[in-house]
Amino acid sequence: MNGILIAMTLALLIPIYEAWQDEDIWQTMLAFASIATKTSIMILVVSVLRDDWMIGLVGVLILSVGNASLMLLAHVLRRMNEL
Amino acid sequence: MSEDFYIVVIAVLLPLTAGMLVAQRNPYHALVIRGIVGAVAALVYALFGAADVALTEALVGTMLSITLYAIAVRSSMSLRLGLLAAAPCDPDEPTPEEPPLAQPLLKALRRALSRHYLRLEIVPYASPEALQFALEKKEIHATCIAVTEALTPATAQSAASAPYHLSVRLPRLLEIVQNGVPPTLASVSLYRSRQMTTANLSDSPDARHNIWENQP
């Protein structure tokens, strides 16, 4: 359990570094998409390992909500660039 | 303790991303990083067993707040520049084109504003009187007129060397514009509010309306 989650945390550090150093807003959005998906997958892994269905349900909801917020933000930013 | 070592590693991510958020200067980048902080926070809350808190953080803290803040930042961080519309606008063309103002001037202005993460918003007006009234009423932040079309002779005299004259209402914006626009393109001055003469307005009662708003 320890090894799997620490490996996933290390994988999570890659998009965090990308969001930190990049200047382009769309690259930052890509890093956000990656982080939102990775964190919710980590929640699902924890829920399976702990056999906790409540956390699993919340993980599924967060997985879908993260993508929805990404799409909303992307639309607002795209319209800003058009103006 | 060694079994729960992963919890410590994941919890360290939260101050790390929060530090990134505080260090960010661009407001749009900061919004996206706020989304990242929300995702990491939801992960930490779920790890500690607070599933309801994690769900609330994802729904309200991330989705709702960054969407609302994106709209707020987008509509507030802009400089509204009033221009004279060159010709009576064509009703067949619903999207207002930029008036044939000097393109290098607008480009220099956009570059100067984007250094401070501001947008340039062009607002066309029908007459110089309408332009000045809008500046007086704080509808726009700055006006840009060709020197030949200047309303007062004093303005025309002070701007004899440059083809355009920018008059800015706010001192901070004046600073930004002065640093970015070369003096050969346009002269810049601070607009001081004065009482409008009613004689100017009585000539054209509709002059103060923005001409694009009058279109069907």
Residues A3-45: tens digit of each pLDDT: 889 999 999 999 999 998 877 889 999 999 999 999 999 999 9
The answer to whether B62 faces chain A, any CB pair under 8 Å, is: yes
Nearest to A66 by CA among B48, B53, B58: B58
For chain B, the average pLDDT equals 77
Q: At residue B94, does pLDDT exceed 50? A: no
For chain B, say whether A7 makes contact (Cβ under 8 Å).
no
Taking the Cβ of residue B72 and every Cβ of chain A, the question of whether any pair is shorter than 8 Å is answered with: no
Residue A73 and residue B31: Cβ atoms within 8 Å? yes
Long-range contact list for B133-139, CB < 8 A, 24+ apart? B133/B196, B133/B201, B133/B207, B133/B208, B134/B82, B134/B208, B134/B210, B135/B82, B135/B167, B135/B169, B135/B191, B136/B193, B136/B196, B137/B208, B138/B169, B139/B80, B139/B82, B139/B210
Please give the residue that has the higher pLDDT: either B31 or B191. Answer: B31
pLDDT at position B157, please? Answer: 52
Note the ipTM here.
0.93
Q: A36 at the B interface (CB within 8 A)?
A: yes
Q: What is the tens place of the pLDDT at every residue in A42-74?
A: 999 999 999 989 999 999 999 988 888 888 888
Residues of chain A found within 8 Å of residue B49, distances taken between Cβ atoms: 52, 55
pLDDT for residue B203 is more than 60: no
Predicted local confidence at residue B155, as pLDDT = 52
| More reliable by pLDDT, B46 or B201 | B46
- Are B74 and A80 in contact (CB < 8 Å)? yes
pLDDT at site B101: 56
> What is the structure's pLDDT at B152?
57
CATH, range A2-82: 1.10.287
B45-49, B139-143, B163-167, B194-198: least confident range: B194-198
- What pLDDT, on the 0 to 100 scale, is given for residue A9? 92
Q: Which of A2, A5, A39 comes nearest B39 by C-beta?
A: A39
pLDDT recorded at residue B171: 85
Task: State pLDDT tens for residues B5-40.
Answer: 888 989 999 999 999 999 998 888 999 999 999 999
Domain limits of chain A? 2-82
Give the mean model confidence (pLDDT) for residues B102-120: 82
Residue A38's pLDDT is 94
Q: How far apart are CA A66 and CA A83, in angstroms?
A: 26
**Per-residue model confidence (pLDDT) at position B131:** 85
| Interchain CB contacts (distance < 8 Å): A and B | 119
Q: How far A80 CA lies from chain B's nearest CA (Å)?
A: 7
Partner A contacted by B13 (CB < 8 A): yes
Contacts of A47 in chain B (CB under 8 A): 46
Q: Find the CB nearest A6 among B9, B49, B66.
A: B9
pLDDT-derived band at B3 (thresholds 50, 70, 90) equals: low
B35 and A9: CB-CB below 8 Å?
A: no
Question: Which chain B residues are Cβ-neighbours of A65 within 8 angstroms?
Answer: 58-59, 62-63
Which of the four pLDDT bands, split at 50, 70 and 90, describes residue B130?
Answer: confident
- 3-state SS class at A56: helix
* Across B48-71, average pLDDT: 90
